[in-house]
Amino acid sequence: MSELPKLPKVYAAISMPLEGMNRLRKLCQVTVNDRDQDPTRQEFLDGARGMDALIIYPQVTVDKELLDTAGPQLKVIGTFSVGLDHIDINLCKKRGVKVGHTPDVLTTATAEAGVNLVMATARRIQECIRAVKDGVWGTVWDNAMWLAGKEIAGSVIGIVGLGRIGLAIAKRLAAFEVSKILYTGRNSRPESAESIGAEFVTFDQLLEQSDFVIVACSANDSNKGLFNAAAFKKMKNTAILVNISRGVVVDQDALYNALKSGEIGAAGLDVTTPEPLPTSSPLLTLPNCLVTPHNAPCTVTTRNAMCELTVDNILTGLEGRPLKAPAF
Amino acid sequence: MSELPKLPKVYAAISMPLEGMNRLRKLCQVTVHEGNQDPTRQEFLDGARGMDALIVCPKTMTVDKELLDTAGSQLKVIVTHSVGLDHIDIDLCKERGVKVGHTPDVLTTATAEQGVALLMATARRIQECIRAVKDGVWGTVWDNAMWLAGKEIAGSVIGIVGLGRIGLAIAKRLAAFDVSKILYTGRNLRPESADPIGAEFVTFDQLLEQSDFVVVACSVNDSNKGLFDEAAFKKMKNTAILVNISRGVVVDQDALYNALKSGEIGAAGLDVTTPEPLPTSSPLLTLPNCLVTPHIATCTVTTRNAMCELIVDNILAGLEGRSLKTPAFLY
């Protein structure tokens, strides 16, 4: 292993599990934003100035201003995510700044969160919790249909984006005796799809046929606001939308209207615009809209693994070696 | 098909989906307990008097000597809106020649899905997530990336108490989650069910000690009331999650409260409680790591309609003196 320069400087915009951070601290001079809040833009710029490496996450944008502020000595950025839409990748390439991320280690936890949202919305868990706590249980029966949910068995699953995470979700749902699994995206993925018998269709076909629409694609310019009023119109009235991708893929005003009017059945969102979602958001008034605080990758196992991988990315980048999990 | 007697009388202690009920109404004189509350004991007895058939469900409608005496000797068939039979004195019904039907199989899938839903919801702390978003806590806590960190199903040990139809359906689904292993326990080995999914038979204590998720899917009988008591919770891992879709009586709720409060176990997801409904004052409802759903495991549109159709089939068969479609026992 080539020798590390004396105490390279690392700024971490977020704190991470202590075990992994301590490994980094043995070899680097680490400054951490260890408050519970995101750094402000100014705090982030100030923290980045003069650094050899940065640890960031999707709330923090890497653009020309950031790279200029950090300085030409910046060698590597490690993002605590698999998503890269908050980073100007082309500019990093141009300036010779390596970028690492955390694919694969977070696939399982994120897929489990996706399935969890499917089941929680199908069985109206949010309404169930309220009904029990408000004492409604026992006062409504509705011809045996009170709080009747939606079965996964016999349903059509539609995955938007059959990448690592989308495929992992599909594999799990395949054990629930679903009717079929459809997927859509920019390219068909025959190797992945064949393993689970998933069928490639157009976006519109997926919307029209699916009982559960699961958004697991990476976000890019072509799919911002993909789920708009027109898309919700094409979906079944009983369909459930689950989004574990990025908030920007969904037009939230259109979603609110679609849920309120019964254009679609329900939604489960782990990602929103903005994040955190303000408590005043009208989405939070809807019994059929379940929002979780962007914690799909957040299990003890996976957070530790993400931390270790980020530290590996930083150390290899500082040593001038190929990153463990490079973005490019 | 033998001819039905003129307008046999049916009392339904619960209302059911209208389509199925209308089929019954074409052939019988049906009285339904309307409204959203269960009938009181007296209302149930009064409703049953003189009936040829009864439709009941496990809530308050106990079928015992008093009920059978009140109904009268003309009673031919009782069908329960459940697979469970612990609210019915089966031996007495047999003795008196009253056929009993129930709704196995049609409700297996919905119940299994609810079991998995509860397991996932508790693993990922959905109840706390919902609160954190609505209370504006999101964005104010990070905790070194561990805020609201959940438990992974992958790599975990699943323990199924009761590998019957429902337990097996749950195990099959969880087998797709890269679990480490599936254990099961019960009164008997079930190699036909267990072998295809590689489930391993262990003692109750072994299951408690080794499992990350303990799923209670057994039928209830005298031997397993209060099975989950203080001693059981002590044997479980501190991080273990209990899911109960069986019957409330299988769990000692005071012991459960203590175990959750003290960290003896990690969390619980309950679709069944004692009593039902669970009073809003129950201390279990103060715990962020206790998720209670209102006994709706069988409640999907598909399944409730299927249960209704099966109940009607059982009632008509019983009234015609034929074998029931899904009898609780055979003569």
How high is the pLDDT of residue A1? 59
- Active-site residue (options: B33, B87, B102, B295): B295
- Residue B45 phi/psi, 5-degree rounding, is -65, -45
Q: Which amino acid is at A121?
A: T
Look at residue A62 in the predicted model and tell me its pLDDT: 97
Are residues A146 and B296, on separate chains, in Cβ contact within 8 Å?
Answer: yes
Q: Could you identify the residue written with the tokens 């009936």? A: B51
* Angle (CA) A116 B159 B108, round 5°: 65
Position of tokens 């390279």? Answer: A8
Residue A322 CB neighbour total at 10 angstroms: 10
* Nearest Cα residue in chain A from B145: A16
- A15: contact with B, CB 8 A cutoff: yes
pLDDT for the residue A37: 85
Please judge whether B277 and A150 are an interchain contact, meaning their C-beta atoms are less than 8 angstroms apart.
no
Instruction: List chain B residues with CB under 8 Å of A307.
Output: 145
Q: Within 10 A of A34 (CB to CB), how many other CB atoms are there?
A: 12
pLDDT above 90 (res B3):
no
Predicted pLDDT of residue A6: 74
Q: Which residue from A minimizes the CA distance to B141?
A: A36
Residue B210 has pLDDT above 90, yes or no: yes
Q: Is A85 exposed, middle or buried (0-12, 13-18, 19+ CB in 10 A)?
A: middle
Q: To which residue do tokens 């109206």 refer? A: A124
Dist CA A275 CA A38 (whole Å): 11
Instruction: Tell me how crowded residue B69 is: count the other CB atoms within 10 A of its CB.
Output: 11
A218-238 residue pLDDT tens: 998 899 999 999 999 999 999
Peptide bond connecting A190 to the previous residue in cis, omega within 30 degrees of 0 = no
* Partner-chain residue, chosen from A120, A126, A293, that has the shortest CB–CB distance to B138: A293
Joined together, the tokens standing for residue A188 give 């068909």
Strands (E), B135-178: 157-161
pLDDT, residue A228, reads 98
Chain-chain contact of A298 with B150 (C-beta, under 8 angstroms): yes
Q: Has residue A5 got a pLDDT over 60? A: no
Interface contact A132-B307, CB threshold 8 A:
no
A172 → chain B, closest CA residue: B176
Examine the residue annotation and report whether A86 is marked as an active-site residue of this protein.
Answer: no
Q: How far apart are CA A52 and CA B22, in angstroms?
A: 75
pLDDT at position B58 is: 86
Reported confidence tier of residue A42, pLDDT bands at 50, 70, 90? very high
pLDDT at A36: 83
What is the mean predicted confidence (pLDDT) over B2-27? 88
State yes or no: pLDDT of A41 exceeds 70. Answer: yes
- How far is it, in rounded angstroms, from Cα B228 to Cα B208? 10
Does any CB of chain A come closer than 8 Å to the CB of residue B136? Answer: yes
Inter-chain CB proximity B138 and A298 less than 8 Å: no
Tell which residue, A228, A225, A183, has the closest CA to residue A203: A183
The minimum CA-CA distance between A299 and chain B, rounded to whole Å, is: 4
Q: Rounded distance, CA B300 to CA A145, Å? A: 8
| Backbone phi, psi, residue A323, to 5° | -70, 155
Residue of A40, A49, A45, A50 lying closest to A62 (CA atoms):
A45
In angstroms, the CA A89 to CA A67 distance is: 11
DSSP code string of A200-243: E--HHHHHHH-SEEEE-PPP-GGGTT-B-HHHHHHS-TT-EEEE
Q: What is the pTM of this model?
A: 0.94
Q: What is the model's pLDDT at position A35?
A: 83
Least confident of A32-36, A242-246, A292-296: A32-36
Q: Average of pLDDT values for B75-101? A: 96
**Alpha helices, DSSP H, located in chain B:** 18-27, 41-48, 65-71, 90-95, 108-123, 126-134, 165-174, 191-197, 204-210, 230-235, 253-262, 301-319
Residue A217 has pLDDT above 60, yes or no: yes
Phi, psi of B6 (to 5 degrees): -55, 125
What is the average pLDDT value for chain A, to the nearest integer?
96
**CB–CB contact A298 B130 (8 Å):** no
Instruction: Please report the beta strands in B179-254, taking only residues with DSSP state E, as ranges in sequence order.
Output: 181-185, 200-201, 213-216, 241-244
Contact between A192 and A167 (Cβ < 8 Å): yes
The pLDDT assigned to B2 comes to 64
pLDDT tens-place string over residues A159-190: 999 999 999 999 999 999 999 999 999 999 99
Whether the CB-CB separation of B207 and B161 falls below 8 Å is answered with yes
Count other Cβ atoms within 10 Å, centred on residue B180.
12
Q: Which neighbouring-strand residues pair with A157?
A: A181, A212
- Residue B86's identity, in one-letter code, is D
Structure-token pair, residue B23? 């089929």
Confidence (pLDDT) at A3: 64
| Closest A-chain CA to B298 | A148
The per-residue pLDDT for range A249-280, each reduced to its tens digit, is 999 999 999 999 999 999 999 999 999 999 99
- Confirm whether the ipTM is greater than 0.85: yes
Residues 6+ apart with CB under 8 A from A25: none
pLDDT of A2 reads 63
Residue B14 CB contacts under 8 Å (≥ 6 apart), including other chains:
A141, A144, B32, B33, B38, B55, B56, B57, B59, B61, B81
Distance CA(A304)–CA(A298), nearest Å, equals 9
Among residues 73-112 of chain B, which lie with CB inside 8 Å of chain A?
81, 109-110
- HSE-CB at B284 with a 13 A cutoff on CA atoms is 29
- Measured between alpha carbons, how far is residue B33 from residues B26, B61, B63 in Å? 18, 12, 17
Least confident of A111-115, A136-140, B57-61, B261-265: B57-61
Which residues make Cβ contacts (< 8 Å) with residue A59, sequence separation at least 6? A38, A86, A275
Cα A186 from Cα A202, distance rounded (Å): 9
pLDDT range class, residue B38, cuts 50, 70, 90 = confident
Q: At what angle do helices A18-27 and A300-318 cross, to 10 degrees?
A: 10
Q: Do the chains contact at B15 and A141, CB–CB below 8 Å?
A: yes
**Mean per-residue pLDDT for B6-11?**
92
Note whether A169 contacts B: Cβ–Cβ < 8 A.
Answer: no
Please, which pLDDT band fits residue B174 given cuts at 50, 70 and 90? Answer: very high
Strands in A212-215's sheet, in edge-to-edge order, are A199-200, A180-184, A156-160, A212-215, A240-243, A266-269, A289-291
Residue A298, CA distances (Å) to A201, A270, B123, B140, B291 in order: 32, 11, 11, 16, 20
Distances (CA, A) of A152 to A87, A124, B113: 37, 13, 8
Kindly give, in sequence order, each residue whose CB lies less than 8 Å from that of residue B176, ignoring residues fewer than 6 positions away: A171, A172, A174, A175
pLDDT tens track for B123-157:
999 999 999 999 999 999 999 999 999 999 999 99
**Chain A hits for B141, Cβ within 8 Å:** 36
Any A CB within 8 A of B140 CB: yes
Tokens at residue A266, please?
């329900």
> Dmax over Cα atoms in chain B, in whole Å?
74
Say if the Cβ atoms of A299 and B152 lie within 8 Å: yes
Which chain B residues contact residue A279 at CB under 8 A? Answer: 133-136
Kindly state whether B189 is in contact with chain A, defined as any CB-CB distance less than 8 angstroms. Answer: no
Please state, as a whole number, how many other Cβ atoms lie within 10 Å of the Cβ of residue B40: 11
Judge contact between A109 and A301, C-beta under 8 A: yes
Residue A34 confidence class, pLDDT cut points 50, 70, 90 = confident
Cβ(B304)–Cβ(B17) under 8 Å? yes
pLDDT in tens, B273-292: 999 999 999 999 999 999 99
Residues 246-275 of B with CB under 8 A from A: none
Alpha-carbon gap, residue A288 to B53, rounded angstroms:
39
Taking a C-beta distance cutoff of 8 angstroms, is the pair B104, B39 a contact? no
